Amino acid sequence: MNEPVVISLQQLLQIIPFSKTKIYDLIKNNEFPAPRRIEGTRKSLWRRDEVNNWVLVHAK
């Protein structure tokens, strides 16, 4: 089964066990991949491959 190329904030929070505030603090400090915006909307989407790579690097 193919994984989606992009994921929503709700999907991200199921993968990364942090609060929204923690995620956005990490983004602000360039410690987590920034979301992409869909032009003309307020929706933010993360690239699945970037999130997966972050998890691999930070997994203990």
Q: Return d(Cα 29, Cα 43) in angstroms, integer.
A: 21
Contact between 6 and 45 (Cβ < 8 Å): yes
Segment 2-60, tens digit of pLDDT: 667 999 999 999 999 999 999 999 999 999 999 999 888 889 999 999 999 999 999 87
pLDDT score, position 1? 54
Q: Where are the domains of the chain?
A: 6-58
Segment 8-20, tens digit of pLDDT: 999 999 999 999 9
CA 27 vs CA 35, 41, 45, 59: distances in Å? 9, 20, 13, 18
Domain 6-58 has CATH 1.10.238: yes
Contact between 6 and 47 (Cβ < 8 Å): yes
Contact between 34 and 27 (Cβ < 8 Å): yes
